[in-house]
Amino acid sequence: MDLNEKRVIVTGGASGIGMVLVDQLVDEGAIVGVLDIDQKALLRLGGRYSSLYCRACDVSQPDSVETAVDDFFKEFGRIDVLVNNAGIVHSALLVALGPRGIVSHDIEMWDKIISTNLSSVFYVTTQVVRRMVSQRTKGVIVNVSSISAVGNIGQSAYSAAKAGVVALTVTWAKELGTLGIRVAGIAPGFTKTDTTIGSMSETILSNWIRDTPLRRMAKPKEIADGIVFILKSDFFNGRVLEIDGGLRI
Ligand SMILES: NC(=O)c1ccc[n+]([C@@H]2O[C@H](COP(=O)([O-])OP(=O)(O)OC[C@H]3O[C@@H](n4cnc5c(N)ncnc54)[C@H](O)[C@@H]3O)[C@@H](O)[C@H]2O)c1
């Protein structure tokens, strides 16, 4: 796909990997809409590009998603690409023995992680694909999973959500391929964003770096490059591209 003039929605594009991706898409000439819950970060991003469509939206809320996607569609007349990138991390063991006895994984956090990282992908994609199909658009959907999808200690909810994202990717690639819509995923390893650095101790972080053959974290641009590669590669479909510095080999 040539990205010039393509109408692209990026969820969670106001910071981290999504923000770097937005820079690259704008450079390629795409018309980009960013749906993000963080209004301050959206304002900062909107200040950088006057052409950007920045929209406050909580992707875990189906009504909020429907209105935001519909407004983008009415404004730009088409949607060619969706990147489901919004996500939050939560680390907690299923059951841990703490100083005050046994503590188990919080159910509220389970629900929040599943709705933000998995249900959101279903909500946004449904709204986007029904518009692609109505206009016979040969579009592309990229879902951001994680290497945690294979199961990661202390990340029950996050790992389950990211594994669900892989399952949706394969299911939709099979369902939508005959309509000319490609669906693929990307599974980053540890990537140097504020969220990742802030969500784990230095010891855990340096252990992950030690276990990565390249002995470092990914730069957000290296993950965004992978997403752009998928968008431009017209025969890449139903697969999840792992960019992890070799951590999982
Ligand atoms: N950074 C990593 O190490 C890493 C590794 C594997 C996968 N990932 C995945 O990559 C994606 C981006 O991660 P990142 O590190 O850039 O994170 P980030 O926190 O820098 O960016 C995530 C963005 O999503 C937005 N967001 C969060 N909840 C939202 C909601 N309910 N509605 C709308 N927007 C919401 C945030 O405001 C933020 O702008 C996530 O899906 C994450 O799970 C990241």
Residue 12 Cβ < 6 Å to ligand 1: yes
Best probe residue, ligand 1, of 146, 159, 194 (max atoms within 8 Å of C-beta): 146
For the CA of 60, the nearest atom of ligand 1: 31
* Centre of ligand 1 from the C-alpha of residue 199, in Å: 12
Catalytic one of 49, 53, 123, 158: 158
Q: 7-191+221-240, superfamily in CATH?
A: NAD(P)-binding Rossmann-like Domain (3.40.50.720)
The alpha carbon of 159 and the centre of ligand 1 are apart by a number of angstroms equal to 14
For residue 22 and ligand 1, the question of a CB distance below 6 A is answered with no
Which of 121, 144, 195, 242 most suits a substitution to test ligand 1, by most atoms within 8 Å of the C-beta?
Answer: 195
Percentage of residues in the chain having pLDDT higher than 90: 93
For 126-130, which contacts have Cβ atoms below 8 Å and span 24 or more sequence positions? Answer: 127/65, 127/66, 127/69, 127/70, 128/9, 128/69, 128/79, 128/82, 129/172, 129/176, 129/181
Is the CB of 217 within 6 Å of ligand 1? no
User: For residue 224, what pLDDT is reported?
Assistant: 98
Chain segment 69-93, per-residue pLDDT in tens: 999 999 999 999 999 999 999 999 9
Which residues fall within 8 angstroms of residue 4, CB to CB, at 6 or more apart? Answer: 28, 29, 30
Q: pLDDT per residue over 95-129, tens digit each?
A: 999 889 999 999 999 999 999 999 999 999 999 99
Task: Tell whether the model's pLDDT for residue 248 goes beyond 90.
Answer: yes
Known catalytic residue at 49: no
pLDDT tens, 138-191?
Answer: 999 999 999 999 999 999 999 999 999 999 999 999 999 999 999 999 999 999
Is 90 exceeded by the pLDDT of residue 247?
Answer: yes
Cα 176–chain centre separation: 20
Share of the chain above pLDDT 70, in %: 100
DSSP, collapsed to helix, strand or coil, labels residue 188 as strand
For residues 211-221, average pLDDT: 97
Which amino acid residue places its CA nearest to atom 25 of ligand 1?
12
Contact call for residues 63 and 57 (beta carbons, < 8 A): no
Antiparallel, parallel or unpaired: β 31-36 and 53-56: parallel
Distances from the Cα of 141 to the Cα of 101, 129, 188, angstroms: 45, 9, 17
Q: Which helix (H) or strand (E) holds 111?
A: helix 107-114
Cβ proximity of 9 and 48 under 8 Å: no
Domain ranges of the chain: 7-191+221-240
> What pLDDT, on a 0 to 100 scale, did the predictor assign at position 51?
87
